[in-house]
Amino acid sequence: MDNLILGDSSVVIKTFADEQFDTVFTSPPYNRKRNDKYEDFTDISDNYFNFLVESIEQCLRVCKGNVFYNLQKNFYNRVEIYKVFGHFAERIIETIVWHKSNPMPNPHVINSYEYILVLSNKNKSLKANKTYTKNHFSTAVYSENPYKKQHRAVMNPKAVEYILKSFCKPNESVLDPFMGTGTTGVVCKQFGMTFTGIELVEEYYNISKQQMSSYTQPFLL
């Protein structure tokens, strides 16, 4: 049974048992001032590094399989992101590169990719469901986002689909501690997985509930 929780993930996740979920897929808030609804996490400081470390540690604790942790590196958070790589070097079993075929233009060097760290407590290699599965994939920026006015950084469902379809099994339990508007939950429903999501912002939480309750057909074409 799916479970959507309104609350602070740093608090809620500590109530879960060790290895309660098969898989974690999530994308934490960016460390820059683009959305004042996450203002507690947007200060440019070492607090962001500590926030990521605690979050990843808890994700590893509650996950019996792999943690897929999506990070976007930019000029403002690059130091913290690289420190995360070093801190978890022994538990990062793969790095998947998500290339965006039509990144947003800007006057600086365009950031056209994001990292998806694959972490595990077990010393193992990442196994895919099919042979010749690549550790990179490409999608367009999610221009069809129906909630752009409410949430400017909605996860592209095709990115979630690639990860779950490539590396997970039907009927698995999936946790997303930064649920946002519920894209991961909808894709989980498509694949017959059990979803648990946590969201701090009530507006996004309500959108997630609406998306999950109105799901009637495959979300992806």
In a domain, 173, yes or no: yes
CA 46/CA 36 separation, integer angstroms: 19
Can you give the three-state secondary structure of 175-198, one letter per residue? EECCCCCCHHHHHHHHCCCEEEEE
In a domain, 59, yes or no: yes
pLDDT of 126 strictly over 70: yes
In a domain, 220, yes or no: no
H or E stretch covering 3: strand 3-6
CA 210/CA 148 separation, integer angstroms: 16
Report the 10 Å Cβ neighbour count for 47.
14
In a domain, 51, yes or no: yes
User: How many CA atoms are closer than 13 Å to the CA of 110, on its beta-carbon side?
Assistant: 9
- Domain of 49, in residue numbers: 3-213
Across 48-64, average pLDDT: 96
Looking at per-residue pLDDT, the higher value among 212 and 154 belongs to 212
Task: Specify the pLDDT at position 145.
Answer: 58
In a domain, 153, yes or no: yes
In a domain, 186, yes or no: yes
Nearest-5° angle of CA 219, CA 220, CA 221? Answer: 130
Q: What is the CATH number of the domain that holds 109?
A: 3.40.50.150
Highest mean pLDDT range out of 104-108, 121-125, 174-178, 179-183? 174-178
Task: Specify the pLDDT at position 204.
Answer: 92
Strand pairing of 136-139 and 194-199? unpaired
pLDDT of 88 strictly over 60: yes
Q: What percent of the chain has pLDDT over 90?
A: 63
Q: Provide the token pair at 84.
A: 């995360």
Task: Specify the pLDDT at position 220.
Answer: 41
Backbone φ and ψ of 194, nearest 5°: -90, 130
DSSP state of 2: -
Express each pLDDT in 162-187 by its tens digit: 999 999 999 999 999 999 999 999 99
Task: Specify the pLDDT at position 218.
Answer: 46
**5, β-bridge pairs:** 198
Looking at 100-109, 132-141, 142-151, 194-203, which range is the least confident one? 142-151
pLDDT range class, residue 221, cuts 50, 70, 90: very low
Task: Specify the pLDDT at position 34.
Answer: 46
Residue pair 168/138 in contact by the 8 Å Cβ criterion: no
Task: Specify the pLDDT at position 153.
Answer: 64
Task: Specify the pLDDT at position 146.
Answer: 61
pLDDT of 154 strictly over 60: yes
Across 58-76, average pLDDT: 93
In a domain, 189, yes or no: yes
Helix (H, G, I), strand (E, B) or coil at 51: helix
Helix (H, G, I), strand (E, B) or coil at 160: helix
Residue type, 86: G
Helix (H, G, I), strand (E, B) or coil at 25: strand
| Domain count within the chain | 1
pLDDT range class, residue 111, cuts 50, 70, 90: confident
Task: Specify the pLDDT at position 195.
Answer: 97
Task: Specify the pLDDT at position 40.
Answer: 52
Residue pair 70/56 in contact by the 8 Å Cβ criterion: no
Across 59-84, average pLDDT: 92
H or E stretch covering 4: strand 3-6
In a domain, 77, yes or no: yes
